[in-house]
Amino acid sequence: MRKLRLWLAGLGLAFLWGQAEADYTLNLTEGVTELSRDVHDLHMVIFWICVAIGVLVYGLIIYSIANHRKSKGAIAADFHENTKLEIVWTVIPFLILIGMAIPATRVMIKIYDTSGADMTIKVTGYQWKWRYEYLDEGLDFFSTLDADSNRARQTGSGIRPASVDNYLLNVDKPLVLPTHKKIRFVFTGADVLHSWWVPALGWKKDTIPGFITEAWANIEQEGTFRGQCTELCGRDHGFMPIVVVAKPESEYRAWIAEQKSAGAAAKADATREFSMDELMARGKTTYESNCAACHQATGEGIPGMVPAISNSPVATGPIAQHLDVVLNGKGAMMPAFRETLSPVELAAVVTYQRNALGNGMADMIQPSAIKSN
């Protein structure tokens, strides 16, 4: 029986190995940009130099141990200082370092050369979302964790993360870019340090409040490329993914036209009157995407950390004061949503908080009132 159990266990391990073998790799991936290939090639050059050094050094150690041991009658030499030997083992490492520094410097200079770009994208890090501004197109939007991942990550949601496609690596609005164009990125932060990292592009950049940093990429193949914030930027640091979608130039131009049309429609929405049902439906979506992470889906908050919205003095008090808290934030925990939400979303979420989650104020606010606030 013991042999049978061992045989079955081995069979199971072999099956699991076969399942995982397709995704198994021993090396870094090359990415989809010229810079990512340069970085990969540099990595490989230095890797093989290190391998050669390791083989030489450990080979000499093993040879010396095997052939100069006491059991073979070896007698240790009684000497110290050898000027020629010291010169050799100083000059050779120096030459190796120079040989490594030259290609590394070339790659670093290339990474920082953003001249001759075809377009510019401004990336701003917020807690906990990204803002993308297409400076050549007048297009501007925020990108946040997608609703499915956001629901699954809630404590007590009952949703298995494995059942959500690209759990914590998907967003509501990806950054769409054209292929075969030199794209200049400028980075800054709105609140704390963040770090924008998409491995397939071959680099990452910190977004620092009050400073501008730069990078560039020329994406050479279509596809969807995912990344994350790699700076510990707060309690929800793990929930601000990055999704880049690369499209051919013709499809990219069509997407830009669609976004501009949608933006014009959104501006028109900000001037019309909404019904209570419309505001409640839009407010529920906005609440789940932006508020539920802290205040919970039921509005109960987190005891000792985040105050509840249900029956709170803010949500049941004067609507002007409620709006002021949402617009401008409060304390260290409550962020300001003045820049990150549109007038329609602001009106909707305030209305939703006052008429759901155990509150029944039976009042509402229109986007036009917020636009002029």
Final residue of a structural domain among 214, 242, 268: 268
In the block, residue with structure tokens 């266990």: 9
- The predicted-structure confidence for 288-327, as pLDDT tens digits, reads as follows 888 887 888 888 888 888 888 988 899 898 999 999 999 9
Q: At what angle do helices 276-290 and 343-355 cross, to 10 degrees?
A: 100
In this structure, the answer to whether residues 94 and 129 fall within a common structural domain is no
In this structure, the answer to whether residues 170 and 34 fall within a common structural domain is no
In this structure, the answer to whether residues 250 and 353 fall within a common structural domain is no
Structure confidence at residue 11 as a pLDDT band (50, 70, 90) = very low
Lowest mean pLDDT among 111-115, 231-235, 344-348: 231-235
Final residue of a structural domain among 268, 295, 325: 268
CA angle 288, 346, 262 (to 5 degrees): 90
- SS3 string of 96-165? HHHHHHHHHHHHHHHHCCCCCCCEEEEEEEECCEEEEEECCCCEEEEECECHHHHHHCCCCCCCCHHHCC
Check residue 294 and give its pLDDT: 82
In this structure, the answer to whether residues 204 and 125 fall within a common structural domain is yes
Q: Give the integer Cα–Cα distance in Å for 103 and 121.
A: 29
The listed range with the strongest mean pLDDT (87-91, 218-222, 329-333) is: 218-222
CATH number at residue 299: 1.10.760.10
Lowest mean pLDDT among 9-23, 110-124, 353-367: 9-23
In this structure, the answer to whether residues 232 and 205 fall within a common structural domain is yes
Q: Are 197 and 217 in contact (CB under 8 A)?
A: no
Number of domains into which the chain is organized: 3
The answer to whether residue 215 sits within a structural domain is yes
The answer to whether residue 17 sits within a structural domain is no
The answer to whether residue 166 sits within a structural domain is yes
In this structure, the answer to whether residues 234 and 253 fall within a common structural domain is yes
Domain that holds residue 91: 29-58+83-113
In this structure, the answer to whether residues 306 and 340 fall within a common structural domain is yes
Averaged pLDDT for residues 151-178: 90
pLDDT at 3 over 80: no
In this structure, the answer to whether residues 244 and 291 fall within a common structural domain is no
Indicate the pTM of the whole model. 0.81
In this structure, the answer to whether residues 240 and 333 fall within a common structural domain is no
According to DSSP, the residues that pair with 4 across neighbouring strands are none
Averaged pLDDT for residues 12-35: 64
